[in-house]
């Protein structure tokens, strides 16, 4: 499967639920780790998963909607992306691996809860990307509560796309 061709196809039927291209390009170009292990929360149609598969053969994406999972699996055929159907708040604690890159783009009111669950599943060096932080600012207050509670985390909001927060371990 040619990933770039599939990305172009999904962009031609662009939906407002897909992460903006400039945002996912920034994410992909910001990852500098060797042996990249990616967790994505919120799959939708697999658009961002396709992009993430360009930088890693180890991408696990979680989606709660069965129809979206079915659609994403079709769009991700030929990649190594693992698509898991379920509630991320239940799936994450059951995972037996660690990640160094996380993309959160799911139920906005759960962003804080996702972050809490993820913290125990991270390698020492990591980057967490949280999408829609400007467009949905009023819905993600739980994220800021969790960020303020964890002094070991450093974060910055970037005014790209619909807003993106990048989180890393404080030095």
> What is the tens place of the pLDDT at every residue in 62-76?
999 999 999 999 999
Q: Residue 141: is its pLDDT beyond 90?
A: yes
| pLDDT at residue 9 in the model | 84
SS3 call for 29 = helix
| pLDDT at residue 10 in the model | 87
Its pTM stands at 0.93
| pLDDT at residue 11 in the model | 85
Q: Residue 134: is its pLDDT beyond 90?
A: no
Q: 104, 60, 55, 101: which is closest to 84 by C-alpha?
A: 60
Q: Domains of the chain, with CATH numbers?
A: 3-169 (3.40.50.150)
| pLDDT at residue 135 in the model | 84
Buried residues in 145-158 as b, exposed as e (16+ CB within 10 A)? ebbeeeeebebeee
Least confident window among 17-26, 58-67, 83-92, 151-160: 17-26
Cα(131)–Cα(47) distance, rounded to whole angstroms? 14
Highest-confidence segment of 6-15, 19-28, 132-141 = 19-28
């Amino acid at each position: 499967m040619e990933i770039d061709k599939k990305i172009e196809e999904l962009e031609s039927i662009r939906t407002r639920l897909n992460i903006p291209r400039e945002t996912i390009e920034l994410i992909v170009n910001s990852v500098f780790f060797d042996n990249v292990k990616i967790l994505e929360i919120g799959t939708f149609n697999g658009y961002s998963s396709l992009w993430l598969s360009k930088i890693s053969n180890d991408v696990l994406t979680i989606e709660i909607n069965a129809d979206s999972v079915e659609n994403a699996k079709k769009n991700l055929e030929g990649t190594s992306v693992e698509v898991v159907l379920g509630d991320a708040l239940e799936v994450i604690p059951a995972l037996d691996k660690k990640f160094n890159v996380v993309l959160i783009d799911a139920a906005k009111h759960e962003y804080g809860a996702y972050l809490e669950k993820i913290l125990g599943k991270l390698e020492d060096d990591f980057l967490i990307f949280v999408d829609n932080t400007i467009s949905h600012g009023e819905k993600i207050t739980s994220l800021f509560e969790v960020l303020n509670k964890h002094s070991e985390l450093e974060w910055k909001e970037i005014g790209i796309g619909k807003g993106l927060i990048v989180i890393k371990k404080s030095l």
